[in-house]
Amino acid sequence: MPIERIKECFLFYQYSNAEIEEILRLAREQTFTPNEKIIEKSKMNEHLWILIEGKVVVRERTANGLDMNLHLMMPGELFGEYSFVDSVQASADVVALELTRVIRFSFHDLAAFFSRYPTCELKTFKQLARLMSRRLRNANRELKKSFMASMTWDQSHTESSTLSEK
């Protein structure tokens, strides 16, 4: 994979070319077919993934069995960062929507890399904090929109019920 391509990923844009060459030695490329799970909810994920080609969706199954798409990802985006940061089971499925190519880094290999390149660890975690903060803000914005929409529906439903009772 060319250095320029990996530098497009926000996670590594502060890395020097030498640092990128070194971390790319740890990367493993993998291809997934449409509807194939890359990460499975409630299973341990031990990789940080970068989407190279294709599209993936972060998906969760609702209590009534419907699939709820939480986030559509495009090339250049990364996933698996929550498991990387807190070492817990995946909180949602990540599913390929079309033929998808990714590169993955094992958490074990990244830990060894960071022990040799501690400034890269700082750069990486700073970028991960920014990503997680942005995703949390977006989730809060979506929750607020959803809440406001339900309040509008409740209010109009209550008003129509009150009018029909008169």
CATH number at 138 reads 2.60.120.10
Residues 61-93 pLDDT 10s: 888 988 889 889 999 888 998 888 888 899 899
29 DSSP β-pair partners: 103
pLDDT at 154 over 70: no
Confidence of residue 105 (pLDDT cuts 50, 70, 90): very high
pLDDT at 151 over 80: no
Range of 86's domain? Answer: 3-152
Do the domain assignments include residue 96?
A: yes
CA atoms within 13 Å, Cβ hemisphere of 89: 6
Do the domain assignments include residue 128?
A: yes
Do the domain assignments include residue 161?
A: no
Q: What total of structural domains would you count in the chain?
A: 1
Chain Cα centroid distance, residue 81: 7
Candidates 53, 113, 45; CA nearest to 79 is: 45
Secondary element (H or E) of residue 82: helix 81-86
